[in-house]
A and B are shown apart, each in its own frame.
Chain A
Amino acid sequence: MTRNELLEQMRISLGLPEGGLTIKDSQETIDEWDSLGHLALVAMLHEKFALDGSDEELRSFRSVEALFIRLTDLGLIED
């Protein structure tokens, strides 16, 4: 999966309109990214990457960029 594809999945999970999410966004900039919105993102990550939930950074990310960095480190997404 590419970063753009992941960004699109995140946008859909958060229920945002097209173009409503960018790499610069975070929980602080997106109202829909509240605690339940974050659970929707966790569910999406579990579905797309079969993640087992043990990765603390994957549960606690608070920005798009932080998630991109972690998934890139894990070799799960590409530019």
Chain B
Amino acid sequence: MSSIFVKGIEYAIPGASETNDDLQREFPDWRMSEVYSKSGIWSRPIAKTSETASDLSCIAALDLFEKQPGAKDEVDYILNCTQSPDYPIPTTACILQDRLGLGTSIGALDFNLGCSGYIYGLQLATALIGTRQAESVLLLTGDTYSKYINRQDRTVRSLFGDGAAATLVSATGTEPMFELGNFAVGTDGRGAGSLIVPSGGHRTPKGPETSTEFQDAAGCTRSQENLAMDGPAIFAFVLSAIPKFLNEFLANEGLKVDDIDHFVFHQANKMMLENLARACRIPLSKVVIDVHDLGNLVSASIPVALKRSAESGRFLSGDRIVLCGFGVGLSWGACICSWK
């Protein structure tokens, strides 16, 4: 298969942010300084009520087209990764095709993944291009988890931010950011309840009961229509499953941790990344940690971390980089790439 490249990444975050000081004022009993010391998250961009994930994805895509002249005319497929669609029906990617002024001969679809979504999106784009079903794929990854979060639920409100990224994947290698290598993915639906919005789909439709707030065992307030996260379960899954998965992935590539220059994991929070690095025996200096003013951007976290690391000059031509996403589903994936 011929080489496939990421030619550009741009991102968009809301203009407003919620800081730990804001949360401390709203909830004096929340110990936000300790939250910060563990999570590394100081502020989170939060979308306005009228601002959707697709709005942010649209802004990111338009920015990408501006920076990559000619790209707009070349895009022949949209992959839109989101768990915050504009509507249950129709597909948000179709709406984006229209908003972005793209031709009607292109393909467009949504796929519903979170923290692993960027890896899956790159894999799908690679498959489309590698089998000549497409030549230039616009991968959009955007979410507004804040709209699912109960304002009184400190377990998730302090962690998640809103944002979107637009990535151009193409077979042409003119001034690419990086070249894509192989992928590996995994799924374990037994952990589906670890990060879930229980109501609003067809399994548990919304109604008076689902909007009733309750306090969980940890004293956090939410309803069935809010995001619920079993942090310890996800933490335990990540520390148990991902090191084994990553070592097997690298071994299949004939590589070891020492052969990799950078690891860009899903940017869940600082404590997760530091413990994961230790469990994988990866020097912390090789791990990108970029959560301070973003929080957990779900499927946009990896591309935004890549873009910001690139802008800071962290990556050098020839660097081997492993991208690895993990979380809601439970779902995970990794790919290896070569920085250009």
B 229-272 binary contact with A (CB < 8 Å = 1; else 0): 01111011101110000000000000000000000000000011
State whether A47 touches B218 (Cβ < 8 A): no
State whether B271 touches A39 (Cβ < 8 A): yes
A38 to B38, CA, bound (A): 11
Q: What chain B residues lie within 8 Å of A59 (beta carbons)? A: 230, 232-233, 236
CB distance from B331 to the nearest CB of A (A): 16
CB distance from A36 to the nearest CB of B (A): 4
If A34-B31, A53-B240 touch, does A42 touch B218 (CB 8 Å cutoff)? no
A21 to B241, CA, bound (A): 31
Q: Is A79 an interface residue (CB 8 A)?
A: no
> Is the interface on chain B under 10, 10 to 19, 20 to 34, or 35 or more residues?
20 to 34
A to B contact number (C-beta, < 8 Å): 70
Could you say which of B38, B217, B220, B236 contacts A53, with CB atoms under 8 Å apart? Answer: B236
Q: Which residue of B lies closest to A43 (CB)?
A: B275
Q: What chain A residues lie within 8 Å of B271 (beta carbons)? A: 36, 39-40, 43
CB distance from B284 to the nearest CB of A (A): 14
Count residues of chain A with CB under 8 A from any CB of chain B.
Answer: 23
A22 to B112, CA, bound (A): 45
Q: What chain A residues lie within 8 Å of B240 (beta carbons)? A: 46, 51-54
If A47-B278, A51-B236 touch, does A39 touch B38 (CB 8 Å cutoff)? yes
A42 to B78, CA, bound (A): 40
B 264-290 binary contact with A (CB < 8 Å = 1; else 0): 000000011001001100000000000
Interface centre among B230, B239, B279 (most CB of A within 10 A): B239
Q: Is B152 an interface residue (CB 8 A)?
A: no
If A27-B218, A53-B239 touch, does A36 touch B232 (CB 8 Å cutoff)? no
Q: What chain B residues lie within 8 Å of A27 (beta carbons)? A: 218
Query: 18 pairs across A/B with beta carbons < 8 Å?
Result: A27-B218, A32-B31, A35-B154, A35-B231, A36-B35, A36-B39, A37-B34, A39-B231, A39-B235, A42-B239, A43-B239, A43-B275, A46-B239, A47-B279, A51-B236, A53-B236, A53-B237, A54-B240
The chain A residues found within 8 Å of chain B, CB to CB, are 15, 27, 31-32, 34-40, 42-43, 46-47, 51-54, 58-60, 62
With A43-B275, A59-B233, A59-B236 given, name 12 new contacts (CB 8 A). Answer: A15-B34, A34-B34, A35-B220, A36-B35, A37-B34, A43-B235, A46-B236, A51-B236, A51-B240, A52-B240, A53-B241, A59-B232
